[in-house]
Amino acid sequence: MDLFFFDFDNTLYAYDSMRRLPAQSRLSGVSQYHLAKSWWAADYERRAEAGEWPTSAEYLAQFARITGGHLTLAQWVEARREASTATPGVVDALRRASGLGRVALLSNNPSPFDETFSTLAPDVAAIIGDNQAVSCRLGFRKPTREAFQSALDRFNQPAADTFFVDDSAQNVAGARRLGITAHHFPSPSDQSIADLNAAINAFSTRTR
């Protein structure tokens, strides 16, 4: 059976960090500048995405230690949702792909995202069920070979029967190096959504 991996941020959902940071500042009581410098610029989020703090409790405790700002999991979700807006055409493409094979999420994100995904994106969760391959669980971030191989292993899936879509050209290149059919989705538009649907159709009707 074919497997269709969809990226989340700037693919299924648009993501705006300039909306997230003010929300986190408001909820934590710490300035945007301090949050950006102490957490984001210091690479803690990237480390979290690679699985360094594998539970929400550990992530939030580390966030508090580094920034001095305390967030509950509900507040983390609130800020994340303020920065995330569904891209209906891509969600529709995911729904179409679900009728052609299995569909799954393949995303670079930390443990709070993984643990609260059904709240963050209930429309997507309703389609994919528990088929989540989030970097914090894989232990590696895209575009590393290990991230893609771990995702394939999670579903016991051969690369030749796997399709992947992502807004990052680097991630697309990383998937292709492993033999996955990968499609670059640069930004939402009528044309890019039409191109995505055409790529899904071409993959599902390929000669095997």
- Which neighbouring-strand residues pair with 79? none
Report pLDDT for 94.
Answer: 98
DSSP 6-43: E-TBTTTEEE-HHHHHHHHHHHHT--HHHHIIIIITTT
Residue 208: band (very low, low, confident or very high) from pLDDT cuts 50, 70, 90: confident
Report pLDDT for 73.
Answer: 98
Count of beta carbons in the 10 Å neighbourhood of residue 117: 21
Report pLDDT for 158.
Answer: 98
Report pLDDT for 134.
Answer: 98
Taking the C-alpha atoms of residue 2 and residue 193, their distance in angstroms, rounded to an integer, is 20
Taking the C-alpha atoms of residue 204 and residue 208, their distance in angstroms, rounded to an integer, is 10
The stretch 80-98 carries a mean pLDDT of: 98
Joined together, the tokens standing for residue 166 give: 């992502």
Count of beta carbons in the 10 Å neighbourhood of residue 206: 12
Per residue in 52-76, pLDDT tens?
Answer: 999 999 999 999 999 999 999 999 9
Report pLDDT for 95.
Answer: 98
What integer best gives the mean pLDDT of the chain? 97
The stretch 94-119 carries a mean pLDDT of: 98
Per residue in 176-196, pLDDT tens?
Answer: 999 999 999 999 999 999 999
- Give the class (CATH, top level) of 3-15+85-204: alpha beta
Report pLDDT for 207.
Answer: 83
Report pLDDT for 81.
Answer: 97
Report in angstroms the alpha-carbon separations of 132 from 8, 135, 166: 11, 10, 15
Taking the C-alpha atoms of residue 44 and residue 76, their distance in angstroms, rounded to an integer, is 15
Report pLDDT for 133.
Answer: 98
The stretch 157-181 carries a mean pLDDT of: 98
Joined together, the tokens standing for residue 192 give: 């890019």
Report pLDDT for 5.
Answer: 98
CB 151 within 8 A of CB 105: no
